[in-house]
Chain A
Amino acid sequence: MTQYEAVIGLEVHVELKTKTKIFCSCSTEFGKAPNSHVCPVCLGLPGVLPVLNKKVVEFGIRTGLALHADINRRNKFDRKNYYYPDLSKNFQTSQFDQPICEHGALTIDLENGEKKVIGITRAHMEEDAGKLVHNGNTISVSSGSLVDYNRVGVPLLEIVSEPDMRSAEEAKAYVDELKKIIQYIDVSDCKMEEGSLRVDANVSVRPIGQIDFGTRTETKNMNSFKALQRAIDYEIARQIETIESGGTIVQETRTWDDERGMTLSMRSKEEAHDYRYFPEPDLAPIVISEEWIEEVRRQLPELPQSRRSRLVLEDGLSLYDATVITDTLAMADFYDRVRMGIDDAKSIANLLMGDLSKSLNELGSSVDESNIDPAHVIELIRLMYDGTISGKIAKQVIPEMLKTGDMPKKIVEEKGLVQMSDEGALEAIVLSVLQENPQSVEDYKNGKDKAVGFLVGQVMKATKGKANPGLVNKLLKEKLSLN
């Protein structure tokens, strides 16, 4: 039987986080009343003059640098002509032969621990289109759609990869890494569910060993990472099955139907792809200076891939821990700042990934939006180090600290959470617990080591969790062996 391999390239659209649209001063705010953020430029009325938002160019440069791409010192806009009412002008202002960025690359971590470089063909600036609500409920209106042009002109960056991915997992890893980079450099929210990050997948299959690509299809409408993986897996299986049963793949656009779990042909006419690009005469060419590029470069944060490597190689964390910690720039920065005060990467990682993240999730908050600074966590870890509190007490301090913003020391003192390490006082409690639980003592003598755990629990209960667990263990074992 022929073995096949998949060839996948992705086109990712990200909505840029500007206050205004790409060619006019209308707000980009999401979810407003229909056509309330629209002006003559959005509508393409005769005689209007679009003017480019400088921030969009800056974000384009920033993204290009983060993706190790060449920034085209000279680039321009073109008109992409098509006939569809999501844009009233009958064209989309985009970039054709001179995009702002070309020849980039991004590195993904594969599950087997290896790294793979995925090429990025280009990234270009363009305007988003409007929203059509198709109404099919009653016969009288089923023949039409309602159009809201609020989204027209929201700036987009379309990032096109090389056909370098070979599985749905690699495609997911690519989008995941791209999303992280874009979020780190703060040019987009990248919310797939809300459409601020949209992925189209070009998929083809070929017998292993064949050099030429097979015929590809383009799949749209995948609104989550899960949908992306399922759609690509479906498309690979469908194409192999089609070829195996003697059919041929048609080059076409397909849409992912999440409920039915399949891709469906959109049967668009071949001629619809004749976009007749030509230079946009209403917009001046863009010339980017070395100074501008260097200024943007200086503002770039350390990127996820580099942070992960640093946390693994210099701090000795596992790749998994490093990946979780660096998932967001806020958490990665927070870690670095705590790390400056505490020389124990693993303890910091455990606390941030465990109890702190758990409490933040419960509050629906994130570390940069919370009441606490790295100083809180540094003090908390130090209190555990010097034996003032146990890990168990830390679990009580964290939610309190997030709620009030108070320093851990203050919380521990005010709530009387200081760990009991007074040997004399603990000894008295241990003795009374032993007296009250003769059965457990008997069990222990008969070789049931588990009985110790029960007795430790009783001491903790009597001290409201404040007893130093190590000391309790030691005292219990001493007393039991004397008995």
Chain B
Amino acid sequence: MSISKKDVEHVALLARLALTEEEKVLYTEELNAVLGFMDTLNQLDTSEIEPTTHVLDIKNVFRDDEVAPSMDPSQVVINAPAKKGNQFRVPKIM
């Protein structure tokens, strides 16, 4: 499996990254190198091994359904670049 410049452009768009032409070429090479490494890993026979979904061997970490205090609303928006009252203000999306 290899990655084309088009794939890089697609991923950049999804991640909202503005890449220059040089960067697109560079990242295409670098990402292909990463995938090449994956190909090496894929040579191992893992058919008898359960997929790992978590790095630690833990399961069922739950909390009880009991309410605890939330943040003060003015603190919620304290780092917001734009706000109105205690709400975030975001640019038009669509």
Instruction: Determine whether the beta carbon of A20 is less than 8 Å from that of B65.
Output: yes
Contact of B65 among A34, A40, A55 (CB under 8 A): A55
5 A/B residue pairs, CB under 8 Å, sorted by A: A35-B76, A52-B61, A149-B76, A271-B13, A279-B54
Chain A 273-311 interface mask (CB, 8 Å, partner B; 1/0): 010100101011111000000000000000000000000
Interface set of B (CB-CB < 8 Å, partner A)? 10, 13-14, 16, 53-56, 58-68, 70-71, 73, 76-77, 82, 84-93
Q: Cβ of A4 < 8 Å from any Cβ of B?
A: no
Q: Cβ of A357 < 8 Å from any Cβ of B?
A: no
Q: Cβ of A434 < 8 Å from any Cβ of B?
A: no
Residues of A within 8 A of B87 (CB): 34-35, 133, 146-148
A149 to B88, CA, bound (A): 9
A224 to chain B, nearest CB (A): 25
Contact of B90 among A26, A37, A42, A85 (CB under 8 A): A85
Residues of B within 8 A of A428 (CB): none
A25 to B64, CA, bound (A): 9
Instruction: Determine whether the beta carbon of B71 is less than 8 Å from that of A39.
Output: yes
A386 to B25, CA, bound (A): 94
B10 to chain A, nearest CB (A): 7
Instruction: Determine whether the beta carbon of A54 is less than 8 Å from that of B14.
Output: no
Instruction: Determine whether the beta carbon of A52 is less than 8 Å from that of B63.
Output: yes
Instruction: Determine whether the beta carbon of A19 is less than 8 Å from that of B88.
Output: no
Instruction: Determine whether the beta carbon of B70 is less than 8 Å from that of A36.
Output: yes
A37 to B76, CA, bound (A): 10
Residues of B within 8 A of A276 (CB): 14
Q: Cβ of A51 < 8 Å from any Cβ of B?
A: yes
Determine which residue in A40, A145, A274 has the highest number of CB atoms from chain B within 10 A of its CB, and name it.
A145
Name A183-228 residues within 8 Å CB distance of B: none
Instruction: Determine whether the beta carbon of A145 is less than 8 Å from that of B65.
Output: no
A35 to B79, CA, bound (A): 14
One of A76-84, A330-338, A392-400, A445-453 at the interface: A76-84
Residues of A within 8 A of B82 (CB): 144
